[in-house]
Amino acid sequence: MARKKSGKEEPEYLSIRFDMPRRYRWSTGRYIGRTYHEAKQNKKLVANRCVQCKEVLWPPLQVCGRCKVEAGEDWVELAQTGTVMQYTYLVYPLWDPHYGEKFANPYPNAMILLDDGVYIRHFLEETDQKKLKVGMRVQAVWREDHERGEGTADIKYFRTIRE
Ligand SMILES: [Zn+2]
């Protein structure tokens, strides 16, 4: 026990050094690898469909969770437009783990229902809280410097569109 200036006894806390390496590689596998490749090379979002129930699997899966069969290679391109179903308005400064940049602050993060029925969580370009609405229409804006191929992180944000 250590005595503080106030005279109260407090336990001494030990610290443990933990150096976390930042650079590492791992295999993304056949299915996620295809998604990352399409995002990097073609600015497309792709998913596979179950051969039995035809459910679009996003993110792509090897096995359909519903049918318990190998999903296969029936690839479909996903829409890049959708509707904001829910959003969170973040005002705490955070770092983007994919790119090592600080996120703009504040920044909204939304659950978006793509036009083909797939949900994706992503950032919104619009930062004016008064203009953010559930039901607003948005479209993906890809990074110009997206040479790393990190899937949906290659999308910079979703921009408000008027139709
Ligand atoms: Zn299925």
pLDDT by residue for the chain (163 residues), tens only, comes to: 566 667 778 788 887 787 777 777 778 889 999 999 999 889 999 999 999 999 999 999 999 999 999 998 999 999 999 999 999 998 888 887 766 777 777 889 999 999 999 999 999 999 999 999 999 999 999 988 766 667 788 899 999 999 8
pLDDT of residue 15: 79
Phi-psi region of 131 (alpha: psi -120 to 50; beta: other; left: phi over 0): alpha
Query: For position 68, what pLDDT does the model report?
Result: 96
The pLDDT assigned to 148 comes to 64
d(CA 54, CA 112): 21
CA of 35 to the centre of ligand 1 (A): 19
CA distances 33 to 25, 36, 38, 50, 74, Å, are 13, 5, 9, 18, 15
Residue 11 lies in a domain: no
Give the pLDDT score at 94.
Answer: 80
Does one domain contain both 54 and 67? yes
Q: Cβ(78)–Cβ(118) under 8 Å?
A: yes
Number of Cβ within a 10 Å radius of residue 96: 12
pLDDT at 12: 82
What local confidence, expressed as pLDDT, does residue 5 receive?
A: 67
Query: 56 and 49 in contact (C-beta within 8 Å)?
Result: yes
Range of the domain at 113: 79-163
- Say what the pLDDT of residue 103 is: 76
Q: Note whether residue 14 is domain-resident.
A: no
Q: Bridge-partner residues for 140, per DSSP?
A: 158
Q: Which of 61, 78, 95 is the last residue of a domain?
A: 78
Instruction: Based on the fold, state whether residues 36 and 95 are members of the same structural domain.
Output: no
Q: Write the pLDDT tens digit of every residue in 90-134.
A: 888 888 776 677 777 788 999 999 999 999 999 999 999 999 999
**Cα 152 to middle of ligand 1, angstroms:** 24
Per the CB < 8 A criterion, the answer to whether 56 and 76 are in contact is yes
Note whether 84 and 73 are same-domain residues: no
Same domain, 88 and 151: yes
Q: In angstroms, what is the span from residue 86 Cα to ligand 1's centroid?
A: 27
Give a yes or no: residue 21 inside a domain.
no
In this structure, are 124 and 59 located in the same domain?
A: no
- Residue 32 and residue 88: Cα distance in Å, rounded? 27
Cα 51 to ligand 1 centroid, rounded to whole Å: 7
Q: Identify the domain boundary among 13, 47, 78.
A: 78
Predicted pLDDT of residue 151? 78
Q: How far is the CA of 114 from the centre of ligand 1 (A)?
A: 20
Same domain, yes or no: 114 and 146: yes
| Boundary (domain end) residue, out of 39, 60, 78 | 78
What does the pLDDT read at residue 3?
Answer: 64
Number of domains the chain contains: 2
Do 149 and 91 fall into the same domain? yes
